[in-house]
Structure 1
Amino acid sequence: MSEPGVARLFSALVPPQEVLASLRAELARHPKGPGSRRLRWAAPESWHVTLGFYGLDDIAARTDWLRRRLAGRSAPVLRLEAGGTFRGVLWTGVRGSGLGELAEAVRPGESVPAEQAFHGHLTLARGHAPAVLVAWARLLAEYRSPEWIADEAVLMRSDPGERGPAYTTVVRFPLGRPVDGEPS
């Protein structure tokens, strides 16, 4: 149990319902996808794009820090696309103007090792079956969601749950006007 005001925290973007519905529909196109039962699928209500992970942290202090870091930031124009894998994770990519800059603004620390560079993604499933993960990534190769304007970032807490972590939005931070340009 954590002390009052302290929790496992991260910042994120949450795609709107129409984008999540598009992703659910894409996954439903493959009801008997290769090795589906060998993967632990993330619940759609937990889908998000992590911007920065802060570990066990003081909620009030992190809220103040994020408020300062996000002040005046533009809203990225994003879309989900394709699929990929890394370290036992199946994901769909997130592309868009301004996403990397936003992630950099909320990343803790000064220098970042190359292996920890930001890679925008939304986690779909986890598992210790590399061939199954790769097969699913191939099934998602042509997927493209509708575009959306990420007009808010959120601070979320992560608490242990019976079927994996439970995520709760702690604070919402509005973002400004959309970033000019097309998703990359």
Structure 2
Amino acid sequence: MHGDDRGSFLEWFRADGLVTAAGHPLKLAQANCSVSARGVLRGVHFADVPPGQAKYVTCVSGAILDVVVDLRVGSPTFGEWEAVRLDDAERRALYVAEGLGHAFMALTEGATVVYLCSESYNPAAEHEIHPLDPDLAIAWPEGITPSLSPKDAAAPSLKEAREAGRLPSYADCVAYYEGLRLSASE
């Protein structure tokens, strides 16, 4: 980020940097912008793999707690999650690969999140896990009452989604990632 008395400038996405980190480019199919009131909790969302939906996420105004959950059955880290604060001060961004679940909570009023997606929204292939599932035990910020959409509030637990066969397999995801790497090198 470069700043002076006029303001600041940053490159919030660089294809070459993502290729270095992920091993393949991000196919851009859709760009989304979400504005949320403080406490709004969106997710945990994921899509069928293949093709899945990779996301490159940043918060351009305000702050969020962004959470990625490993939903890939058979993964050594299945059911584990990582959280990172994304905000308009540090200007960090996060890449979410296909097969991983994505959720965030707005920490400020009017938190504005923009994200690039590798595939267009396909309601038939989109799924969710309840973000307050006690088995996931995501450490959402204390002192903020979560506000969920009716769809997210009715989402199944991780266990229920797994038993229903809705979760992606680790083997399918790894094969898909390898296909992305191979097609990028051609």
Q: TM over 0.5, yes or no?
A: no
Return the TM-score normalized by structure 1. 0.24
